[in-house]
Amino acid sequence: QAPHTKVQLQLTRDALDKWARAQNLVIIDGGQSERYACRVPEFVDEHHATAQCYARIFGRYWRDAALPGKVGAGLYPVAQDGR
C-alpha cells in the first residue's frame, strides 16, 4: 500500500466490509493481487487484470467457499489482522 493512500484505502475497505456483512454478501478483494500469484504480464495496466489473474482469484474463492465456515459475509479474503 502506498503511504499517501493507506488510511483512505483502509477506511474504504472497512466501510465495504461493514456494508457487506450487514447485507450478508461477500465482496472479493482482489486489490492485493499478489495474494493470488498474479504477475505483471497479467495486467492491461496497473489496475486492470486479465482473465488469467481473475481465474485464479475466482478459483480460490470457489474452492474456499466449498469449505464449511471458510468464507463468510464481508471482504474476502480476510486480512491477516482478522478484518
pLDDT tens-digit series, residues 2-12: 788 889 999 99
* pLDDT of the residue at 1: 63
pLDDT digits (tens, 9 = 90+) for 30-78: 888 888 999 999 999 988 999 999 999 999 999 999 999 999 999 998 6
How far CA 3 is from CA of 6, 10, 22, 27, 31, in Å, comes to: 5, 11, 30, 24, 15
CB 71 within 8 A of CB 65: yes
* pLDDT of the residue at 77: 87
30 Cβ neighbours under 8 A, 6+ residues apart: 36, 49, 53, 54, 57
**Does 83 score more than 50 pLDDT?**
no
Collapsed DSSP state (helix, strand, coil) of residue 71: coil
Collapsed DSSP state (helix, strand, coil) of residue 74: strand
* pLDDT of the residue at 82: 42
